[in-house]
Amino acid sequence: MKPTEALQRLTATPQGQLEDVLERVDVERTVAAIAGGTITGLFRRDERHALVQLLCIDRAAELSPAMRARVIHALRRLSPSPVLSTGIRSMLLSLTGEPFRDMKYLLNATADRHDLEHVVYERLSPADRAAVLEHIAAEAAAAPSHDLRILCDIDDTVKAMLHERRYPRGTVYPGVVELLTALDKGRAAEPSRPGDLTFVTARPGGPKGLIEQYTRDALSGLGLPPHAVLGGSVLNLFTKASITARKLQNFERERSLFPECRFLFLGDSGQADAQVGAEMLRRGPDFVVTVLIHEVVPVTGAKRERLERAGIRFHSSYDQAARHVFELGLIDRPGRDAVVRAVDEVSGMMT
């Protein structure tokens, strides 16, 4: 079917039937067919604009929160433009209450780099971004949540990579998957709702997000809950100060996107995560429940005392971390016990 014909068929869909049509034809393929690729898209400006107008503005009211999230995600194939920004803004502002939160969480669990953070901070104009963030803040104020957002580093926190000497490089730490799963379920108002877990890293996104996607792929086989990945840039790789700045930017963005939630940060002692966590606690004492730092590099003396006074909790294995968050009421007893068993099983094999 030609792009113009596909667009005409969508436009001619009777009122109230657009969602059913999009379900049958596959919204991803339909948007791709109409939008075209890098070269062909240059000749389809009018079709692209008409598609955004149709799906995001004229007929958006017919679509469920889940379909609206799918449409926004499918529109990643279009180059940023004022028309696209206006359309996404209209779609995001079109819902309130629980339907809006559902759409927001679904956008944050897309399994690629085009998640909620990407949509708001890379696809919207400054004015549209400000309007969307204002809407998010207003919705959060109207319905505060007890949901827990988990922000988690990767290297030496999930996998032994840079400074770890107890395990071979690339080893997934015993109990970390079980802990993240328990945290994802533990305080969520809807435990099955995707999008509570976000990995924050200073790794660059790379061209077209290739490095960030590589990071996602490396996490995909671990049995983790649905999650997002917030990356860095090549410039962030050189100093601890730049790593710290990028991770704090990621934290501030998460807080702006989920102001109704509380946060927990998991990092390690090898790359300034303790300092990042202390600054998170200083900036958002009402938002940040606790900071767990995996001690792969010893932290001693006055530095350790200062960080512990700031609220940092150090641990050398994830059973210790699980006991701490259980005491805080962030996970249930079965979740804690699953972490302890996972650690004990590996410890038994190593002795």
- The reported pLDDT for the residue numbered 214 is 46
Of 127, 142, 157, which closes a domain?
142
What letter represents residue 241's amino acid?
A
Q: Does 136 fall in a domain?
A: yes
Beta bridge mates, 315: 294
Q: Residue written as tokens 């505060």?
A: 144
How far is the C-alpha of 237 from the C-alpha of 241, rounded, in Å? Answer: 10
How far is the C-alpha of 93 from the C-alpha of 215, rounded, in Å? Answer: 31
Of 142, 177, 207, which closes a domain?
142
CB 143: neighbour CB atoms within 10 A?
Answer: 12
Q: Which parts of the chain register pLDDT below 70?
A: 1-3, 38-39, 41-42, 187-195, 202-218, 220, 231-240, 348-351
Model confidence, pTM: 0.82
10 Å CB burial of residue 266 (0-12, 13-18, 19+) is buried
Beta bridge mates, 314: 293
Q: Does 8 fall in a domain?
A: no
How far is the C-alpha of 225 from the C-alpha of 258, rounded, in Å? Answer: 18
Over residues 47-100, the pLDDT tens digits come to 999 999 999 999 999 999 999 999 999 998 888 999 999 999 999 999 999 999
| Cα–Cα distances in angstroms (integers) from residue 12 to residues 18, 266, 303, 329, in the given order | 9, 51, 67, 53
- Total domains in the fold of the chain: 2
- The reported pLDDT for the residue numbered 135 is 98
12: three-class secondary structure by DSSP: helix
Q: Does 1 fall in a domain?
A: no
Q: Clarify whether residues 93 and 221 are in a common domain.
A: no
| Cα–Cα distances in angstroms (integers) from residue 168 to residues 163, 165, 176, 195, in the given order | 11, 7, 16, 30
- The reported pLDDT for the residue numbered 216 is 54
How far is the C-alpha of 22 from the C-alpha of 264, rounded, in Å? Answer: 38
- The reported pLDDT for the residue numbered 109 is 83
Q: Clarify whether residues 110 and 228 are in a common domain.
A: no
Q: Does 7 fall in a domain?
A: no
DSSP of 110-177? -SSS-SHHHHHHHSS-HHHHHHHHHHHHHHHHHS----EEEEE--BTTTB--SS--SS-TTPBPTTHH
- The reported pLDDT for the residue numbered 240 is 66
